[in-house]
Amino acid sequence: MARLFGTDGVRGLANKDITAELALDLSVAVAHELSGQGAFGGHRSTAVVGRDPRASGEFLSMAVMAGLASAGVDVLDAGVLPTPAIAYLTQRMNAEMGAMLSASHNAMPDNGLKFFARGGHKLPDEIEDRISGRLGSAWERPTGPAVGRIRPFPRGAEFYIEHLLTAVPGRLDGLRVVIDGAHGAASVVGPEVFRRAGATVDVIGGEPDGLNINDGYGSTHVAQLQEAVRLRGADMGVAFDGDADRCLAVDAHGHEVDGDQIMAILALSMREQGRLAQDTLVATVMSNLGLIQAMQAQGIHVVQTAVGDRYVLEEMRARGYSLGGEQSGHVIMLEHGTTGDGVLTALALAQRVVSSGTPLHELAAVMTRLPQVLVNVRGVDKNRVDSDEAVQADVAAVGQELGGQGRVLLRKSGTEPVVRVMVEADTEERAREYADRLASVVSERLSLHA
């Protein structure tokens, strides 16, 4: 049986895969698992609940709050806020759990449920599995004054804004920034933080109507931001995704600055300030080889993990590292947050531009991105990719031919019969040639229709 939880909560088509019934039942199971003794031991547990502005979040958040309250948990309804805000507020309010309704960068018809434990931490696999195992179990329902209460929590947004400005206290006076809110959860708080820090702010993608989240705007569609930065003569632009746990940037020339480049800039800044723990950056195996080479040249060690910000975070917490993230723009600054935070990342990046007096395109030039080609090979038995001798022999051969000028990565999709072939090389042509060659071998050897 497939796991209910994916790499970032439970996600699917709203009102078909992610139903009100599932949201309610899952929230009850979460309440029982995370409350400890909770309402059933005389202690009133608390949960902080938030959502992004997509339409389905309106009824799904009601179902989540109903489930939690029915299990005896008091609920603070924070409304529309970024995912990292809910993680922070779970910690700040000393709540036993937090819940976020969002499908991140997915299109509007999807939605999802993410849960946080005490301290604002994402749930490990074993806790998620125990929660799944509780679904449908009989339980003793509290009655009378033992049921949970649901209260609005409008102060949550202000608490989060204050937290960000305290974490990155430098002023941004004189800096002009275009902010793309993806018509998502940071459409209000993102621009407000930058304005309070002193920046001149232009906003695009900042008018959510419940249906337009991520639609042509945000970190997965940066063309609008690139054009806006150039037309308005801004110093830089930043783009969030729907729930604002990731951030990409654009320099004054309209060139994209991806998550790898942002991490490189912040790593050097934090080391300069004595805040880069063990002079180490944590990235995933999908980060560009150019990042590793640039950091090595600067005397910074790079630890790589499996794909997914949760694995980056696990490594950081286990080893005491302070900075990590993904090429997609999930950046974790562990001294200030327990998860990727797009607004925090954008604020720290802008502060580096101002404090260094260096334009973003010059800061980003610390690393040179090697051309990277990704080919998705569909309709294959992904579970044989690591054991097929012919596939592995060709991977080894390509790696040897590339030498130190590139690398090869074959990765199984977590949800589809797909193998992702990624090749980096010194030229786009070589990367494409090798990626197509390996994709052909994978397709031939592992085809489900052979």
Which amino acids are annotated catalytic?
A: 104
Q: Is 25 flagged in the annotation as binding?
A: no
- 40 touches 148 (CB < 8 A): no
Q: CA 216 to CA 199: how far, in whole Å?
A: 25
Please give the sequence-ordered ranges of beta strands (E in DSSP) within 192-300, or none if there are none: 200-204, 236-240, 247-251, 256-257, 280-284
Q: Which of 351, 429, 446 minimizes the C-alpha distance to 394?
A: 446
Q: Which residue shows structure tokens 């980003």?
A: 364
- CA–CA gap between residue 193 and residue 244 (Å, rounded): 13
Q: What is the Cα–Cα distance from 250 to 266, expressed in whole angstroms?
A: 15
Rg over alpha carbons for the chain, rounded to the nearest Å, is: 22
Opening angle at CA 111, ends 216 and 284, nearest 5:
75
Beta-carbon contacts of residue 404 (< 8 Å; ≥ 6 apart)? none
**6 burial type by CB count under 10 A (0-12 exposed, 13-18 middle, 19+ buried):** middle
The residue written with tokens 């005491």 in the block is 320
The answer to whether the annotation marks 322 as part of a ligand binding site is no
DSSP 368-424: -PPPEEEEEEESB-GGGTTT-HHHHHHHHHHHHHHGGG-EEEEEE-SSSSEEEEEEE
Q: Which residues have a Cβ under 8 Å from the Cβ of 2 and sit 6 or more positions away?
A: none
Query: Is position 243 annotated in a ligand binding site?
Result: yes
Instruction: Tell me which H or E stretch contains 155.
Output: helix 155-167
Are the CB atoms for 32 and 134 separated by under 8 Å? yes
Task: Tell whether 202 is in a known binding site.
Answer: no
Query: Residues comprising the binding site for Mg(2+)?
Result: 104, 241, 243, 245
Query: Residues comprising the binding site?
Result: 104, 241, 243, 245
